[in-house]
Structure formats: structure tokens, C-alpha cells
Amino acid sequence: MTLEATSANTAPLTEENTALTETTDQGAAPATSSPAAVPAQTARLQQAVTVLNRLSSAVRSQVLGRDDVIELAIIALIADGHVLLEDFPGSGKTTLAKALGEAIVTPLQEQADDVAAAIVPFRRIQFTPDLLPSDVTGGSVFDTSTNSFHFRHGPLFAHVVLADEINRTSPKVQSAMLEAMGEKQVTVDNTTYHLDKLFFVIATQNPLDLVGTYPLPTPQLDRFLFKITMKHIERDAELDVLDTYKTRRDHSQQRIQVTRSDVLMAREVIDMEVVIARAIKTALVDISRNLRSDERVLQGNSTRSMVLLLPALQVLAALRGRSFVSAEDIETLLPRVLGHRVELAPGVADLGKVLHDCMRDPLEQLARATLQ
């Protein structure tokens, strides 16, 4: 699926969410004004969605014309996944990651323990071939005053980490990243240090400039929830970027912010309250099986990809004002999730078509299941 389709899907829903936010803010709304208002969400869920919307508007105020990417990034953040961006330099990746990281603040009373104190909102790592794992994770440093080693936190200890040009570094560093992304921990000198619960990686790679790179191994690719291929933003949006550059730079302090605990709360609430019906899971399994048995597909998707997908579906459903996952959520997210996981047979180029073919029957069964 192409990005246009995704943006077409998300655009009206974003508006809807805004409407929902306003409804919550005003506290009263006619019951039948909006179609989506009928199967209402619980107050907790609405609260969680409000948090997401605030986060979203915080990032959108900084990054213009990338609403679809922001939406996906926030879904991945809440769904406890990571995002791989394929993009050209200077297209706003860093801005996006920085805005996302800085929108999440930790109130002072929460910074009690040591680990939390060491965690910063945002870190950026530029991956180069001569980078070492300890440059990423941190390392033991000899303290002459205490005559002992103590651990110095590396850049991974942050809410949001931007791993720029991740394919340029050596496999050694990539494997360190692998552990961090998969287990949310780093191990240095046989000591395991836990990363923050919100640990979220936005990795990028340049789709064209491939000389001297180490292509990401499949297991590491499998750890990214989404791989997002971005195109250049719209003309008007680009003009807006230039127009409002100064304003955004100067008023960066008055940003909307959410607290870390809010985000964690949203994650927990959405996980508990958004229902995934058995029919939905059946459809997912059927789609996977179809993909694996399709002769145009060399290697199908892993079971892990489906497991990773479930929370993302929940987040999207919540963002769309629902308390249950629906077929539309699958339609929107599945191409994002499977794009970098499915390997096509030689000569087959159009993953979108393969996916469409494999999704048709299970989704039809899913739609029919509601009448049975």
C-alpha cells in the first residue's frame, strides 16, 4: 500500500479525533451529533485518546505536512514498537523525533530514582562505521575520586532515540541496538541496565545512498513495527514550513506537553480497554497464512509481526474513536507492518497487489462474520 492511501484513510479520522477532543474539553455534546459517538468509549479511554491527541498536536505544531507519519509514530510509541523511516536527508526526521521526545516531560516529583534521573527526553545517534557498542549503550568509567568504576549512560537512555542512518554502522553496534530494541535493556560488562519503559527508536536509512552500508539483518528489521517510506511533502505544506520557520523556532518553549506517566497510562488503558474480537485475530492469522502460501511471496511474515501488530491496532482503533478493533484498522496498518517483513519472489514488484489479494478473502470473511 502506498502512502497516499494511508493518508487518505487517516485524514478524516484525524479531524474526527480533534472533534472528540473538543467534545471532551467542553464536557457536553449532543448524543447523536457524530456517528462515531454512538458506540462510545469509556471515560478512561477517552482520556487516553486525549493524551494521544495532545501528543500528536504537539508534534504537528513542529513538523508540518507529515501528519500521516506523526500518526504512525505515535501509534508505534504507544504500541511499544519502533519505527524505521526511509527518507532523504533534511526531510524532518530529526525534527519529528525531537518534537516527539520533548513533548513527553517527566515532572520533578517523578525523578526520584537514579535511573529516571539519567533518562532524557531525546537523544540522537549518528551511526557511522567506526561507532562502537559502548558509544551507544554507555560504558563503565573509572572514577578516580571513588577509585571505582561506575556506569555512564549512553544515548540509548532516552524516551525517544533517533538512530540516524542505522545501516551505516557495523553489525556489532547493530546487535547492541537489537538487544536494546527487543528487550528494552542493555548489558555492559555483564551488568544489565534497564531502559525506560517509553524507550522508542526512530531509525532512518537513506534509500539511495547504499555504498558502504551494512544492510539491516532480517531479525533486526523484524523488530521495527513500521517501516515508513516518505515522500516529499506537499507544496503548500512546504511553503508553510518556510513561512512559519521563525515562529516555531522562537516559540518552542510554549509547546503542548504531556507527562511520561500520562503516556504510560494511555498505553495501559488502551491495552486493556480496546477489544480485539476473535474474528479479527482469525482474519490476521488467515492473512498471514495466505501470504505464506502465495507463490509470489518468497518468505512470509513472522508470528511476531502479528503479535506486534495487535497493540498497534488497538491504538489506531482508539484514535478512531472506537473501543474495538475493526477491519479498517487492519487495512490501514497491515501494509505498514508487512512492508519490510515480506520478501517477494524475483520478478514480483508490487507488494501492494500481493497484500491486497491475500487480504481480500479473510477481510470478506471478517465482514460476513458480523452478521452471524
Partner 1 sequence: MTIHNAKQDSVLNQLLPSSLRAAIIASSYWVLSLSLTSPSGSVAAFVGCLFSCYLIDGLVNRPPLRDLRLSVIAITTLLILCAGIFLSSVITSSLTVASLLSPLLTYEIGEVLQWFLFAAALTALLRILAHRTGYGRVVEILFVATAFVITLAAHRQGMIHRPFFIGDYALTRGIDPSSILMAMGCGAVLAMAGLLMMENNHRRLPYHFTVLGLLCFSLLAYVQLFGMPSPRLTDDMGLTGVARGEGSAAEQENPFRDGENDASDKEAPVAIVLFRDDYEPAGGSYYFRESAYTEFNGSMLAVTDRDDLDEDLITHFPPVRADIEEPLPLLDKRQAVRTTIGLLAPHRTPFGLDTPVAFQNTPNPNNLRFKQTYDAYSMVPLLEFPDLIGRSAGDPGWTPAQRQAYLELPDDPRYRELADTILQDLRPGYADDPYAKALAIKDYLDRNGIYSLKNEHAYAEDPAASFLFGDLTGYCMHFSFAATYMYRSIGIPARVGIGYSVPASNRAGGSSLLIQAINGHAWPEIFLDGVGWVIVDPAPGRTLVDMSVDPQNSLQQLLGDMLRDEAAFDEFISSQQDEPFPLTVLLQTLVAALLVTLLAAYTVKIYRLRAPQFADPALRYRLSYRATLDMLSALGQRRRYGESREAFARRLSTMTPSFATMTASHLYAALGPSGSVPEGIQAQPRLPPTPDWLALQSRIRAEIGSHTPWWRRVLAFLDPFAWLKTH
Residue 51 corresponds to which cell in the numbers above? Answer: 493524551
Residue 363, interface with partner 1 (CB under 8 A)? Answer: yes
With CB under 8 A as the contact rule, the residue among 16, 240, 273, 286 that binds partner 1 is 273
Please choose, out of 94-102, 229-237, 321-329, 334-342, the segment that lies near partner 1 by the rule CB under 8 A.
321-329
Number of residues counted as binding partner 1 (CB under 8 A): 34
> Which residue of 5, 36, 115, 264 would you call a contact of partner 1, by CB under 8 A?
36
Provide, rounded to whole angstroms, the least separation between the CB of residue 139 and partner 1: 41
4 near partner 1, rule: CB under 8 A: no
Q: Which residues contact 196 (CB under 8 A, 6 or more apart)?
A: 115, 116, 119, 157, 158, 159, 184
Pairing of strands 104-105, 258-259: parallel
31 touches 37 (CB < 8 A)? yes
112 binds partner 1 (CB under 8 A): no
Write the binding mask 77 to 106 for partner 1: x where contact by CB under 8 A, - elsewhere: ------------------------------
323 binds partner 1 (CB under 8 A): yes
Is 312 near partner 1 (CB under 8 A)? no
Mask of contacts with partner 1, 229-268, x by CB under 8 A? Answer: ----------------------------------------
Choice between 40 and 210, CB closer to partner 1? 40
Among 11, 18, 22, 40, binds partner 1 (CB under 8 A): 40
Does 28 bind partner 1 (CB under 8 A)? Our answer is no
Q: Which three cell numbers stand for residue 225?
A: 513495527
Query: Does 2 contact partner 1 by CB under 8 A?
Result: no
Closest separation between CB of residue 279 and partner 1, Å?
A: 7
The span of 36-44, 127-135, 218-226, 340-348 binding partner 1 (CB under 8 A) equals 36-44
Cα–Cα distance, 66 to 245 (Å, whole number): 15
Smallest gap from Cβ 340 to partner 1, in A, equals: 24
- Candidates 122, 224, 125; CA nearest to 165 is 125
**Residue 100 CB, nearest distance to partner 1 (Å)?**
28
**Phi and psi at residue 243, in whole multiples of 5°?**
-65, -45
Cell of 212: 558502504
Shortest Cβ 4–partner 1 spacing (Å):
16
Q: Return the number of the residue (110 or 268) whose C-beta is nearest partner 1.
A: 268
| Distance, CA of 127 to CA of 82 (rounded, Å) | 17
Helices (DSSP H) in the chain: which residue ranges? Answer: 3-26, 43-62, 67-78, 93-103, 114-118, 133-137, 171-183, 218-223, 235-243, 245-250, 260-273, 278-293, 303-319, 327-338, 351-369
How far is 13 from 300, CA to CA, in rounded Å?
A: 30
Residue 370 touching partner 1 (CB under 8 A)? yes
Give the Cα separation of 273 and 268 in Å (integer). Answer: 9
The correct pick among 5, 331, 344, 348 for binding partner 1 (CB under 8 A) is: 331
Q: Give the Å distances, CA to CA, from 266 to 76, 78, 244, 292, 311.
A: 13, 7, 31, 34, 12
Does residue 286 belong to the site contacting partner 1 (CB under 8 A)? Answer: no
Residue 183 in the binding site for partner 1 (CB under 8 A) = no
Nearest approach, Cβ of 25 to partner 1 (angstroms)? 19
The DSSP result for 101-153, as a single string, is HHHEE--GGGTTSHHHHH-EEEEEEE--TT--HHHHHEEEEEETTTTEEEEEE
Rounded CA separation 234/239 (Å) = 9
Tell me whether residue 17 or residue 137 sits nearer to partner 1 (CB atom).
Answer: 17
The residues facing 162 across adjacent strands are 124, 202
| Residues within the interface to partner 1 (CB under 8 A) | 32, 35-36, 38-44, 272-273, 275, 277, 279-280, 322-328, 331, 359-361, 363-364, 367-371
